[in-house]
Amino acid sequence: MTVREAAALIRAGGLVAFATETVYGLGANALDAAAVRRIYEIKGRPATSPLIVHVSSVGMARDLAAGWSELAGRLAALYWPGPLTLVLPKRPHVPGVVTAGLDTVALRMPAHPQALELIATAGVPVAAPSANRFTQLSPTTARHVQDAFEGRVPVLDGGPCAVGIESTVLSLAGPAPVLLRPGMIPRDELVAIAGPLAEPAAGPEAAGGAHASPGQHERHYQPRTPLYLDHGEGRPGRGLLLRHGRELPATASEYAARLYGILHEADAAGYDWIAIEPPPGGAVWEGIRDRLQRAAARRTEGT
């Protein structure tokens, strides 16, 4: 499928999966409530999880945000296009289905030329969560998307995703900025620009029943194979141990870029369990630690 065809589909109220630099997104016209509802249906995603709206220009973002602050402008100038999502008060014309009824909207300009071309050609903002079924592993190749939806969703193939884990989500909607989801932009870098960060409101029930950040579901980003954050010692069955600097890359950026691909492969190989050596501490690893903890959450929850 070409960018033109994909853009025409979006304009006509359809869904298209497309590559961004973080993970593949499942996109629809953010201003078309019926189209956005279909994203939730096909993903099996609860209506309480708001979507990120992807834009191809700062102007498009400002059309959707009610309060575009000086800080929003500075962050966008520094990080857009790139893996930073900004949560801002929304304008009334942003459908409630996109924001799970919240009065804020999450905005991002992706750093993938094909994604930017798609949005610009469609001429509308594109709401897109990761193109996988709810709670499962995020896709970082077109093939992952095909497998997740068994070919039922058209995919614009943009190659493997360079960043590899989901964007950093920063809320600018309150009195102090809040890091809702860590990503590959280190926390200390954000503090240097935005000042001290406030803690996210406790629990997913914050913000009137909608998840303040859907990335905050404790179980998320999960392979089907049970995953443990340890060295797998003494565990019965046929397992796979993924070690830092061996089966998984040594640097945080390469580790993130390869992580989901390696987990998709491990999942397909039919192991009884996967063990991942706990990654290092430190700010550059925070996003990776967050994803791994959620990927392993079922073990500690016992569900």
By CB atoms closer than 10 A (0-12, 13-18, 19+), residue 45 is buried
Which CB sits closer to ligand AMP, 75 or 102?
A: 102
99 touches, from Mg ion, ligand AMP, none (C-beta below 5 to 8 Å by class): ligand AMP
Which CB sits closer to Mg ion, 125 or 215?
A: 215
Residue nearest to ligand AMP (CB): 215
Which CB sits closer to Mg ion, 85 or 130?
A: 130
Residue whose structure tokens are 């469609």: 122
- Of residues 184 through 223, those in contact with ligand AMP by CB under 6 A are 212-215
CB of residue 238 to ligand AMP, shortest distance in Å? 31
Pick from 20, 99, 136, 146 the residue near ligand AMP by CB under 6 A: 99
By CB atoms closer than 10 A (0-12, 13-18, 19+), residue 86 is buried
Among 50, 52, 14, 59, smallest CA distance to 168 is for 52
By CB atoms closer than 10 A (0-12, 13-18, 19+), residue 301 is exposed
**Which long-range CB contacts under 8 A does 199-208 form with residues at least 24 apart?**
207/102, 208/101, 208/102
Q: Does 104 bind ligand AMP (CB under 6 A)?
A: yes
Q: Does 52 bind ligand AMP (CB under 6 A)?
A: yes
Which CB sits closer to Mg ion, 20 or 130?
A: 130
Token pair, residue 50, equals 């708001």
139 touches, from ligand AMP, Mg ion, none (C-beta below 5 to 8 Å by class): none
Q: Does 222 bind Mg ion (CB under 5 A)?
A: no
Piece of 74-82, 103-111, 152-160, 197-205 that binds ligand AMP (CB under 6 A): 103-111
Q: Does 136 bind ligand AMP (CB under 6 A)?
A: no
Q: Does 140 bind Mg ion (CB under 5 A)?
A: no
Piece of 44-52, 185-193, 262-270, 271-279 that binds ligand AMP (CB under 6 A): 44-52
> Can you tell me the distance from the alpha carbon of 52 to that of 174, in angstroms, rounded to the nearest whole number?
18
- Of residues 115 through 134, those in contact with Mg ion by CB under 5 A are 130
Can you tell me whether residue 152 is helix, strand or coil? coil
Amino acid in position 254: E
> Can you tell me the distance from the alpha carbon of 271 to that of 240, in angstroms, rounded to the nearest whole number?
7
DSSP state at residue 13: T
> Can you tell me the distance from the alpha carbon of 183 to that of 106, in angstroms, rounded to the nearest whole number?
15
Instruction: Using CB under 6 A, list all residues that contact ligand AMP.
Output: 50-52, 87, 99, 102, 104-106, 129-130, 166, 169, 171, 180-181, 212-215
